[in-house]
Structure 1
Amino acid sequence: MAANAFNSASSPLALQEAVATPPKGSMGEMGEAGGKDALARLNEALKELKAVAAAPLLKRAIDALNREDFVNGGKWALKALEKDERNGVGWYLLAIARERAGDFESSIKAYEAALQLLPNHADVANDLGRLAFRMGMPVQAEKLFRHFMAQSPEKVDGINNLASAIREQGRHEESIEILKEALAQHPESALLWNTLGTIMNEQAELKNAALFFGEACRLDPKFAKARYNLSQVKIALGDPTGALEDCDTALKLRGSTADDREMMRLARSNYLVALGRLKEGWDEYEARLSSQFADVTHFAIDRPRWKPGMDVAGKTFLVVGEQGLGDEVLFANVLPDLLEKLGPNGKLRLGVEKRLIPLFQRTYPDADVTHHRTIAYATRPLRSLPEADLSNVDLWTPIGSLLREFRPSVEAFPARPQFLTADPERVAHWKATLEQAGPGPKVGLLWKSLISKDARHRYFSPFELWAPILQTPGVSFVNLQYGDCSAEIELAERELGVKIWQPPEIDLRQDLDDVAALCCATDLVIGFSNATFNLGAATGAKSWLISNPGSWTRLGQRENYPWYPRARVFSSPSLDEWEPVMGEVAQQLAAWVDSPER
């Protein structure tokens, strides 16, 4: 087939190289592959087919897709392509069927073939762009949406999709201008109001976000995504009850794609856990492993999968880390309980992030600890244990699934001060080295995450708001923050006259075993929940967590943090209001410095 201008942006190779992480916050509406209108247009296109022999087969494919029978829809499309492999409608129907069945690799290839054979059929470019966006590739999606709009400039969904792709690249003002211009022409479009709300939500302009999502719901009461998005604003405002109600309403409405419903289930799990309804929440949390997510991690582990209630005594049990590094540490809270269930004749095997191996091996010396590796395979993340022989494994599980069995309630969390063990020699080393930081208690600081997706910045206060904490007299502050912190450290010294001491000869991002020891050597760690905070708290460092009101990991608790009994929680009233909580931390820090307890 002849090359076309969009191959470089939308080829399977290009998709594999991109980061396959779709947005996880508020949902923009992009429709779904094979909507009723698109299938009706394809039905009309059949009348013009030259390959008469393929027409009845394609008609059967369309009928199957209309019934949401994607397996048979794909089969009939393949039969048609066997008769005419250059039939663009056949490739398009196959792409729709494969995507709706969750086979994204085949879907991409089929869409590309359809786009080459039907260059004037704008819906193909729109659908391929929507799939690229779904897989976390907004640059490629933008090119395809512009191609769609060049042929159909009047279509609201094209305008909306383009604005969404531009928004996802961080060009918020440009996206807002596109939407404002479109809303002037289409003020009754719930679709456009919803997308404008997603931008406000990402920028933590929560009142505007609620207003725009509310308008979308008013204009279209059956708009499931807008109702779900409203739930996201409510959780950010500290209203998990209202968030759960809106999410449940959204799940009952029709019109969402399968992956949208799974996203709603995942959000619902967060709301339930945030309300302290842990048993229900952990069951719903299994949605994180749904194959409907384009970026879901698949596990290359050909052993029986553990389920709650299974007898594990005397078994060789493999537990594999998942999510981010901080989550691997957080979920390790259950490992002592699992070891007890395995008993003296059982064997624990662990697959963790490579940098965590020394810490986990020291803590669990009788366990076999190895590293996992994740590669892009067929456009999806695939996790394996490349250096492990798994032939003797009886059962395995992703670590987060163990919560269903071992943490069904807040009361099920034990009062252990730690569940990972820092290197005592390195703790002693750092206690001695910290004397160089200055007089008074040594307080480690953490103020950001280096993860930029999911509008993650909303969950961290601007560094400028740390001023009242940094101005606490009698404290020597220690930098525990990984990544480039030079701008913030310079700002503190220039504007506040506060020196944040930089620990020597340590890579705060790579030397995680030493980072844990450093945290334990400080008198107190203050910060937001990132990987380092979890490392310090899991190894027993005294910790103060600055949290947002909708954080599910708080499990509905106000001040205590069940995962880490030595941690104390300070929560902001909402994601757009950090000053009160930063002031409270500063006040409590000053009191702690002067207290007999310290």
Structure 2
Amino acid sequence: MLAVGDAAGAVKAATAALKLDENHGQAWHVMAIALEKTGNLQNAFAAFEAAVKLLPDDWAIIDDLGSLANRLGYLDLAEKLYQKCLAADPGNLDVANNLACVLRDANRYDEAIELLKAVIAAHPQSALLWNTLGTVLSDKGDMEQSVIFFEESLRLDPGFQKARYNLANVRVALGEPEQGLADINKAIRGSRLPMEIATMKTAKALTQMILGDLAGAFETYEARFDPSLKEAVAFHAFGKRWSPDDDLQGATLLIYGEQGLGDEILFANLLGDVIDAVGPDGRVLLAISDRLLTLFSRSYPTLVVHSYRTQSRLGRTERSVEFGGEAPAIDLWTPIGSLFRRFRRAKAQFPDTPAFLKADPDRVAHWRDVLQSRNAAPKVGFMWKSLNMNGSRARGFSPFDLWQSVLGTKGVEFVNLQYGDCSAELAQAQAAGLDVWTPPGIDLKQDLDDVAALCSALDLMVAPMTATTNIAAACGVPTWVIAAPDAWPRFGTDGFPCYPSVRLFPTDGFGQWSGVMERIKQALSEEVAGRGVRTAAAA
């Protein structure tokens, strides 16, 4: 049944076999493979473990378990399993490749490269190995070099669509979205696995956003909910799933926040339009991160704001609403990003109002007093990294060393807004004699309502896109954003349409930070010299 793609049928057949003999190792193996294909990852993992216990020397089962462990993020276990397989079969190309993927995902790039070099020397005609080496280099940030290896993989196997897709992503990151889109479309047409197709469609949507094709992009972006994707969120349905053709007038609509915290804020740009569409006889309920409850409740007093509950069940992320009692009658529900399919199909549909979130005015006044009591210099908030710097995410943020030229700008006091552990970077700044002040008495990660107030009391914010940057921009704070060529929220413009207060500082190319840092320093010096930086007293 697995051979013809009937994973559900294979689960039933394996279940029947195990009722006859619960110690049948191969039946547990089939059960595990079938469960994984249906998306039931945690039960699949348990089935693989049962198979390994019964057949401890079956390297195919151990290899499969390692693949699932890697998919679930159990990198240490996956590495041990692959090492065990290689010890028994040193020439196994697939296992060596899988081990290299684990090392890559653990950010151990040099080890992965050395392993792949050795295996490629023995198997120079393997398109799989050349592709994996390309992914290691691209995740490491060596985009231009990775192109060579993806192209070699495709030369060896023109039908290897995963390599074509990886090459497309690199093209987009290097500032060639048109070519990237063409490659993604070709990869989608040549692919057969549902998970690969859904992954490629999601990347296609982001590329369409970069190119400004919003109508097409957000239709394609619905692929992010494909159940074959490990990261796809399953939402608890209340009423009917909204579609762009539904009449919202007078309806009760539940909107779920989705993706990361920054995306929840960015997508909220359209809430005012949704409230207008529902009208006075309708009602809008918003389920959002509990850290944003107070801020959104103040900003949208006609909204009924709840926190959502997210849990993992059988390897699937599920999201529901914390109503605090019986659920109200709901006509329609939707993830917030899906509403762009109706309300943000073109640039002209973005409002030009500078803010859609409102910080607590009393706390803004408090932070202004604190900032003014320090000195008269303009106060510039800054950040330099995301809390999640795992894998390829790290390549999207400048090394802290390169901030020194900006932080050395005369006549400015820089306010540290970086959440998470940043003690090493602050010590580095202090050793270099740079003036960086960390505000006391605020949890920069958890207390987002007070973060909004602090940002609103600043003269300027300078940062890459993070959750805090989104909050500042949504509150209308003048915000200078450092963005790579593949920053999809630009939506084909030279700014960020969701945030009219943003001034974009694009990099010269992927990983090219020095030039943009110098431009920020120059622009900041000019602002200070001309007193163009908003002063707290005048705000």
Length-normalised TM-score, structure 2: 0.95
- Which AA in structure 2 matches 1:521? A
Residue in 1 that maps onto 2:261: 325
Alignment partner of 1:164 out of 98, 101, 118: 101
Alignment partner of 1:584 out of 519, 536, 539: 519
Q: Does 2:302 correspond to 1:372?
A: no
Q: Is the 8 A contact 1:440 1:474 kept in 2?
A: yes
Q: Does 2:536 correspond to 1:593?
A: no
Q: Does 2:380 correspond to 1:447?
A: no
Pairwise CA distance, 1:165: 1.1
Pairwise CA distance, 1:436: 3.4
Q: Is the 8 A contact 1:129 1:141 kept in 2?
A: yes
Pairwise CA distance, 1:302: 4.2
Pairwise CA distance, 1:129: 1.3
Q: Tell me the SS of whatever aligns to 1:372.
A: strand
- Which AA in structure 2 matches 1:435? Q
Residue in 2 that maps onto 1:39: none
Q: Where in structure 2 are the equivalents of 1:435-584 lying within 5 Å?
A: 435-495=372-432, 497-558=433-494, 560-584=495-519
Q: Is the 8 A contact 2:106 2:391 kept in 1?
A: no
Residue in 2 that maps onto 1:126: 63
1:404-462 superposed Cα distances (whole Å, 9 cap, x missing partner): 11111122111111111111111111111111343322111111111123421111111
Change (3 A) 1:203 1:436: farther
Pairwise CA distance, 1:105: 3.2
Q: Where in structure 2 are the equivalents of 1:28-427 lying within 5 Å?
A: 64-254=1-191, 257-388=193-324, 389-427=326-364
- Distance in 2, matches of 1:123 and 1:249, equals 32
- Which AA in structure 1 matches 2:504? V
Change (3 A) 1:266 1:73: same
- Which AA in structure 1 matches 2:243? K
- Distance in 1, matches of 2:17 and 2:532, equals 78
- Distance in 2, matches of 1:142 and 1:446, equals 34
- Which AA in structure 2 matches 1:485? C
1:78-129 superposed Cα distances (whole Å, 9 cap, x missing partner): 3333433332222222222222222323322332232233333221111121
Q: Is the 8 A contact 1:437 1:501 kept in 2?
A: no
- Which AA in structure 2 matches 1:587? Q
| 78-87 or 529-538: bigger deviation | 78-87
- Distance in 2, matches of 1:345 and 1:165, equals 54
Q: Is the 8 A contact 2:104 2:391 kept in 1?
A: no
Q: Percent of aligned pairs with the same residue? A: 44
| 119-128 or 230-239: bigger deviation | 119-128
| 436-445 or 318-327: bigger deviation | 436-445
- Distance in 2, matches of 1:363 and 1:423, equals 9
1:238-269 superposed Cα distances (whole Å, 9 cap, x missing partner): 11111111111211224x53212211111111
- Distance in 1, matches of 2:447 and 2:16, equals 56
- Distance in 1, matches of 2:355 and 2:369, equals 23
- Which AA in structure 2 matches 1:449? S
Q: Tell me the SS of whatever aligns to 2:301.
A: coil
- Which AA in structure 1 matches 2:193? T
Q: Is the 8 A contact 1:238 1:573 kept in 2?
A: no
- Which AA in structure 2 matches 1:178? L
Pairwise CA distance, 1:397: 1.2
- Which AA in structure 1 matches 2:474? A
Gaps of 5+ in 1: 1-63
Residue in 2 that maps onto 1:46: none
Q: Is the 8 A contact 1:247 1:268 kept in 2?
A: yes
Pairwise CA distance, 1:221: 1.0
Pairwise CA distance, 1:517: 1.0
- Distance in 2, matches of 1:74 and 1:366, equals 48
Pairwise CA distance, 1:520: 1.0
Residue in 2 that maps onto 1:21: none
- Distance in 2, matches of 1:368 and 1:227, equals 46
1:284-310 superposed Cα distances (whole Å, 9 cap, x missing partner): 111222211223222234432212221
Q: Is the 8 A contact 2:285 2:304 kept in 1?
A: yes
Q: Is the 8 A contact 1:439 1:475 kept in 2?
A: no
Pairwise CA distance, 1:480: 1.6
Q: Is the 8 A contact 1:135 1:295 kept in 2?
A: no
- Distance in 2, matches of 1:281 and 1:354, equals 29
Length-normalised TM-score, structure 1: 0.86
1:535-574 superposed Cα distances (whole Å, 9 cap, x missing partner): 011011111111011111111112x210100111111122
| 524-533 or 89-98: bigger deviation | 89-98
Q: Is the 8 A contact 1:545 1:567 kept in 2?
A: yes
Pairwise CA distance, 1:597: 4.3
Q: Is the 8 A contact 1:239 1:550 kept in 2?
A: no
Corresponding residue pairs, total: 532
Residue in 1 that maps onto 2:536: none
- Distance in 2, matches of 1:541 and 1:250, equals 41
Q: Tell me the SS of whatever aligns to 2:322.
A: coil
Q: How big is the alpha-carbon RMSD for the aligned residues of Structure 1 and Structure 2?
A: 1.7
Gaps of 5+ in 2: 534-539
Q: Tell me the SS of whatever aligns to 2:359.
A: coil
- Distance in 2, matches of 1:220 and 1:325, equals 40
Q: Is the 8 A contact 1:269 1:282 kept in 2?
A: yes
